[in-house]
Every structure is written in structure tokens, then in C-alpha cells.
Structure 1
């Protein structure tokens, strides 16, 4: 799905409000460089847990940094904010960036760390639904969290790879994210819900029933998510960019070693993420369930690849599926910082995680 000029203009207009809503929770200290990281969410969610808990765990501070995370609403908003320099770092999403690259308009930004690898999306139906495969979805109403979210273009791509026409064979319905998406499915407002791993975890924690359809064979490895920044920052503040990547890499290792400790750290930063009326133990369990599917995707699915390294085949596959003609991907990403980002003692991070209280 290409992002039109009009959509980018609309995203630009939405930034002024979104940038004013940055989290005030970051524990800053004198002498730390303060940076802003944008995510394409309407409110903070454990989907980005490994991007944010480095602040409370001290990993940002160890790099001389304090990072404030801002929920900017959509991935397009984030892309515009990074390109304009309104934020220092953002979440890069190929389904929004590759069309820009194919038009020869990609100029300012570069993806330098893959913090979540493919594949994280599924399609769910009610337990008693007569839909049992992706092929059974033809003619049905498929819910997505929103048309500016990644679950929409990625699911379209998968169905298109199976020979369907995404525009003619299905009706797409925006139902919102989190529990409201599960409610829409339960109430029959949609026949199926295309959503991501952490989102399904939140729905499951709320006690709403669903059944995941079996994934089609040869599922394309697309839909990874990345840290991106302006190329100018890469050149002038290289150590700073490495520091942000290293903090995320450490946080990912921490969560992998002790997911419940990661959940507790996230709740200390964002206590409103706890289910209403829950105890701390119940809240930690809810976040743990939400991230259970996601944390496996912190590790590259490629043999001998270092955490955070980017495989260009993901971009090539997505471009081919959408008929985007791209001759050179080098302006879009770099692996030049991966060795430096991974230059820390993972055993020490794992030990910290196991002893976290």
C-alpha cells in the first residue's frame, strides 16, 4: 500500500499535537543528552516494550542519554517527524517507506536497527466460526486496527500473494486497537480480525474468545520494524545513534531472559497500562501474556545474524509483492553500526534480568 502525498500532508498537520504529548515519565538527570523517539501508536503499549524500558533500567543513562518516547498516532506521522527533524529517532516501517523510495523521494532517513523481525501478524475468528483458513475469508469483513497501521498493508500483501484481489475480494473495516478490536469480533461487527501478536495478547488477557487461523504456507518474511534516524545524525552523532541502538538491544536481551521482569519495568514507567483494578502481580501477568508472542521476534530468523541486523531480502520481497520498482536499497538502511551496538556483555544483562526486583 503506497503512502500518497496527501496522506503525508495530513500526517504533517497532525504532528503539532502529537509532539506535545511526549511522555513525562522519563527519569532524566543532569548531563544526559535528551532525545525524542516517536512511535506510531495512539497511546503507549507493550508492543514497544523493548524500545522504552532501557530508560528505567539505566541502559540509556549508561550511554549518556535520556530518551522520551512519544506516541504520534500513525506510522506516517512518525516518518514525517523524523524527516523534518521534529524527533530524533522513530520506528521505521517498510510498508510506508518503500513506496517513497520507489518514487525516488527517500532523502533524509535511514533504518539502522531491526528491533522486531517478521512475522508478527495473524487473522483471528470466533471459536465457532465456519472460517477455517485464509481461503475462507473471501467475501468476508476483515477488521484491522486502522488503515494507518501496519496490520492493514501486511495482511493485504499476504492475501495478494495467495492470488486474491485485496480490494475486490474482501471488505476492510477499521475497528480500533486493543480490547475494542476483540469486542468488534465478539459482537459480529466483523467476520475476522487481522492484528498483531501483542494486540492478540491484550485481547486474550481481557478474556475475549478467538481462534487464530493457520498461517498459509511459505509466508513471506515481511513486516519487520526498525529504528530510524536522519542520515545527518548518523554522520554527526554516530556514538549517540549507537547508544540508542545498544540500549534497545540490551533491553531486548533483558526481556528475553526474564519477561516478567521486563513487564514490571514497563508498568513502572506506564502504570496506566495495568488492567483496571488489578494487583501488581495480576498486572505483570497481563503484560507478560501480551508480550509472550512478540519477544521471540527480537532474535533474527537468519543463521548467525547479530541482533538488530537487517536483511535486505525482506525489503526486496515486499517491493516485489507490491510491484514497487527499486534498483538500490542502500539509501534505505545500513548495517554499519550493528557490531558496535552489540558490543556489550549479554551475560551481565541476563544476570541483571534474573535478579531484577
Structure 2
């Protein structure tokens, strides 16, 4: 009996070792300098073993921004990147220097960029910003592109009616707002949440509906990878979809998971309850990872919105002619990405023991 048990244990060990050896090791680039709760679905995909189930061993590398992610994926330094599409689509234009990339799984269904003012500002519309100073991280940042589009839509001339001022990010940007160096800012969603947590809350100004639904950060890869290694891309996107489902069903677990893997992301001050409350504020970004038009379907691109993105870039003078939707993304993997038991993931999330993360 003991001999049989020993043989079985040896077989199990060999099988586990074989599976580990067979796992495809990859780097995945995320466009953030620092980890925070907003990337928890990626963390959950790894921590909960969803990537293991796909035979993938992923290391997440934090990059300086979406442009850096796109460039690194295009040069083959990582097979998968999570990047905002504006700069990537600009690089997809016909020409000798085009980026040979395409998006293969949609993640963010709403535009993460907004034009905002301090909560106590008397300004209530974009049109009222005429003659004002608008802060962006840098004059070459994506915020400039979006800010100009919002101003044009409000009937203003962005090159004549306002002044753009580079104010950096984080504490530097907060100081610029407190000292009234700028009257408004064009920043991304998680940055705005961070400003509120730091005691400098901002209020978003209404923008044209068509601009709010421009697609944003999604998964991209080289066309060669899409053609030659679809199993890897489907597996990663499916694991991320599971991670998102888990996180939407149990947000506190995913906040604690982020802190466990990236301890530096945990707030340093406050009671445990206050820290968790701050962490949960960052999870509101996941609300844009789904869309009512698609229901529970994950990863599907909405073509009309990508055409709106192409038009947005065309009007801004960043592309010379529209980029076809088929050049920007592929929906060929959507069926396989959604081929999993969503009810089982939801059950796992609701039964998850939070104490295991403390």
C-alpha cells in the first residue's frame, strides 16, 4: 500500500513538473509607472491560477505609458501589451515606419481621459474655459490630443483660445492646481481618483457623448503573433476575463490581492477600513471594462467606436486618412475568449475567504 502511494505521489510530481515546464513564459507590459488597484484583474488572473490553467506564466512589467508599451511590443520585447489605442493607431498608418500591431481583445470601453476643474471652480462647461490655462502632464502627452478635441467640440480654438501648461503628474500636478497655476486639467481616470484621495478632488466637465465612448486601453500584439500563436493570446485574454469577472463580484478581495502582491500600493495612513475605502475607489475604473451593448461578453470590439477613434485622430491632424477597423483590431478570438464557466467564477468570488489575503 505504501509502495503504491509512493508511486502515485511520484507520478503526480512528474506530471506537475511537466506542466510547469510546458508553461509558456511571457512578459506582459502595462502602461503604469506604479502598481495600483486598477490593475487588479490582471493580478487576479495570475494569483487565482487562471493563467496557469491556460499554460501561461506571465510577468507583468510596468512601463512609462501606452506609447512605450506599443513600441516595446512592436519591437518584440514582449508578446502582449495593454495600451491606449490613440498613439498605436497613429503608428498603424500606411507607410514605411508603421507599427505592425493589432488589438486582439478589448478591455476598456470608455475614454479614460477627461477635462476637469477643481470641485470649487465656478466653471461648469468646456466653453467657459476660453482664456483659461489647462494643465497636462507634458506638451507632447495624449492629454493634449484629447483636450484639443474637447475644446473643438465646444466651439473653441485650442490653439488660440486657451493655454496649455505642462504640470507633470502626482504631487507636482496637485501643487499646480492648489496654487492655481492652471484652471483645468486633462488627465486620465486613475489620476483624477488619486487627486481626490489626496484631498484635491476634481469635477469632470461634460463632453460630447461620442467622445466619452472612444475605446481605450486594450490588449495588443504583433500581427505575426496573432497569426502564429493565437493560443497564447486567447489564453491570456480569457484568463483576464475571468480575473475581471472575479473582481467585479468581489472588489475587496481584489484590492487586498493587489496589496499582497504589490505592498507598496497599500495606503500608508488610516484605519484598515479607511485604507480599504480608498482602495475601492480605484476599482471604479473597472466599470468601463464592460459595456451594456455587449452584456457579459468579454473582449469584443465595437467597430463603430473604433471608427469614431479614427475620425477623432483625423480631425486632430494626427493621421492623414482614416485607418480601417480591420487594421486596428480583430474580433476573431471573441468566441474562444468567452468559452469558460462564468457562473463558476462568480461562485468562487462570492465564497472567497478574505482572511487568506490578510
2:322 counterpart of 1:343: no
The change in CA–CA distance for 1:252 and 1:155 in structure 2 (over 3 A counts) is farther
Please give the residue correspondences for 1:1-357 in structure 2 after superposition, counting only pairs within 5 Å: 31-104=22-95, 105-147=97-139, 149-216=141-208, 218-278=210-270, 280-292=272-284, 294-303=285-294, 306-323=297-314, 324=319, 325-326=321-322, 328-356=324-352, 357=354
Q: Give the CA deviation at 1:147.
A: 4.8
Tell which deviates more after alignment, 240-249 or 196-205: 196-205
Q: Give the CA deviation at 1:84.
A: 0.7
Post-superposition CA distance 1:215-271 (Å, at most 9, x none): 445545214221011122222221111111011111111111121111111111111
Instruction: Find the structure with the greater CA-based Rg.
Output: 2
Secondary structure of the 1:35 match is: strand
Runs (5+) with no aligned partner, structure 2: 1-19
Q: Distance in 1 between matches of 2:155 and 2:93?
A: 23
Q: Is the 8 A contact 1:134 1:216 kept in 2?
A: no
Q: Give the CA deviation at 1:297.
A: 0.7
Tell which deviates more after alignment, 133-142 or 206-215: 206-215
Q: Give the CA deviation at 1:146.
A: 3.9
| Structure 2 length-normalised TM | 0.83
Q: Give the CA deviation at 1:301.
A: 4.3
The change in CA–CA distance for 1:147 and 1:67 in structure 2 (over 3 A counts) is farther
Q: Distance in 1 between matches of 2:103 and 2:144?
A: 21
Q: Give the CA deviation at 1:133.
A: 1.0
Q: Distance in 1 between matches of 2:114 and 2:239?
A: 29
Q: Give the CA deviation at 1:45.
A: 3.1
Q: Distance in 1 between matches of 2:272 and 2:261?
A: 13
Tell which deviates more after alignment, 266-275 or 165-174: 165-174
Q: Give the CA deviation at 1:116.
A: 0.9
The change in CA–CA distance for 1:256 and 1:183 in structure 2 (over 3 A counts) is farther
Q: Is the 8 A contact 1:117 1:301 kept in 2?
A: no
Post-superposition CA distance 1:56-97 (Å, at most 9, x none): 121111111121111221222111111110112112322102
Q: Tell me the number of residue pairs that the alignment of Structure 1 and Structure 2 aligns.
A: 329
Q: CA RMSD in A?
A: 2.4
Runs of 4+ in 1 over 6 A off after TM superposition: none
Q: Is the 8 A contact 1:260 1:285 kept in 2?
A: no
- Structure (1 or 2) with the greater helix fraction: 2
Q: Give the CA deviation at 1:202.
A: 1.8
